[in-house]
């Protein structure tokens, strides 16, 4: 039975990916920071008749001790062998960069970037010993172009993509593959669960609030079922030679194409017009 460790499975892409892979016959180690939030996953697995293929364990990618325990627990369950890891755990913080507290900036980078690196480092000895393994990273269309009111999340995704593309050189000699999944807008709870920062005295307040409203309207109009991303994750894990970059959603394909081909100034003007931001500039 093929084995995979997935982070951030209490909701969103991680939850539906765990169910999809279990239905396909994978042994899934579903991890989450807070095990009190495992109810939604357990209910989805029960409905799919796939609960027997999934073990739920605690793992916080921002905590070194938790990573050590989580990797040890995973390898104990799988008999010391692991086919793949899916780095899905992610957080965000919305607002103008000047308004976002340093603690929030660091929280996003610790989860979305440093956490991915730390868990990968902990798993690489196993993958090297096996001379096999696949490292799948859930990135975002945010890695292709800047976005208003979303600077730290975008920065985390640009960072993880640059690191992943470089890591691929290191590990290819050991039969280890690195793959990026880059979703566009999907209906998950990351934005609703993320802080939106617009202090009452901020010069950006009116602009930021407009960004939040316009962003919600964009996701409501263009957002799709996250099951599409779950299927892409499973297909990438099962493909013999998957592509390194995998945009999911037609808007992600467009932004992937646009980067480097359309001048950044034109893209910014288009986004400002689409979101109605030029009407609220100082």
| Residue among 153, 169, 204, 274 flagged as catalytic | 153
Q: Is the dihedral of CA 176, 51, 112, 68 positive or negative?
A: negative
Query: Please, which residues bridge with residue 180 across strands?
Result: 137, 245
80: left (phi over 0), alpha (psi -120 to 50) or beta: left
Which phi and psi angles does 150 have, rounded to 5°? -140, 30
CA dist., res. 88 & res. 274, Å (int)? 29
Contact 112, 91 (CB under 8 A): yes
User: The tokens of 204 are what?
Assistant: 């950006």
DSSP letter, residue 34: -
Among 140, 122, 133, 279, residue whose Cα is nearest residue 211: 279
Residue recorded with tokens 């951030």: 8
Is 153 in the active site? yes
Which residues are marked as active site? 153
């Amino acid at each position: 039975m093929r084995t995979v460790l997935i982070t951030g499975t209490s909701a969103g892409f991680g939850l539906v990916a765990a169910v999809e892979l279990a239905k396909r016959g994978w042994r899934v180690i579903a991890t989450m920071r807070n095990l009190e939030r495992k109810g939604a996953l357990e209910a989805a697995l029960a409905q799919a008749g796939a609960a027997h293929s999934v073990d739920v364990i605690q793992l916080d990618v921002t905590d070194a001790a938790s990573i050590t325990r989580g990797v040890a627990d995973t390898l104990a369950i799988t008999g010391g062998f692991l086919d793949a890891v899916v780095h899905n755990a992610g957080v965000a913080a919305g607002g103008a960069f000047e308004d976002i507290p340093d603690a929030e900036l660091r929280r996003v980078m610790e989860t979305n970037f440093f956490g991915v690196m730390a868990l990968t480092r902990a798993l690489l000895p196993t993958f090297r010993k096996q001379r096999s393994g696949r490292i799948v990273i859930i990135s975002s269309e945010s890695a292709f172009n800047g976005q208003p009111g979303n600077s730290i999340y975008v920065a985390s995704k640009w960072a993880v993509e640059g690191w992943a593309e470089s890591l691929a050189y290191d590990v290819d000699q050991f039969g280890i593959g690195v793959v990026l999944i880059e979703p566009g807008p999907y209906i998950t709870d990351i934005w609703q669960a993320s802080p939106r920062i617009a202090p009452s005295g901020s010069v950006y307040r009116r602009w930021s609030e407009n960004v939040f409203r316009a962003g919600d309207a964009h996701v409501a109009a263009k957002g799709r079922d996250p099951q599409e991303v779950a299927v892409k994750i499973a297909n990438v894990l099962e493909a013999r030679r998957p592509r390194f970059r995998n945009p999911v959603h037609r808007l992600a394909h467009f932004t992937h194409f646009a980067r480097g081909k359309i001048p950044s100034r034109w893209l910014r003007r288009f986004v400002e017009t689409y979101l109605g931001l030029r009407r609220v500039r100082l």
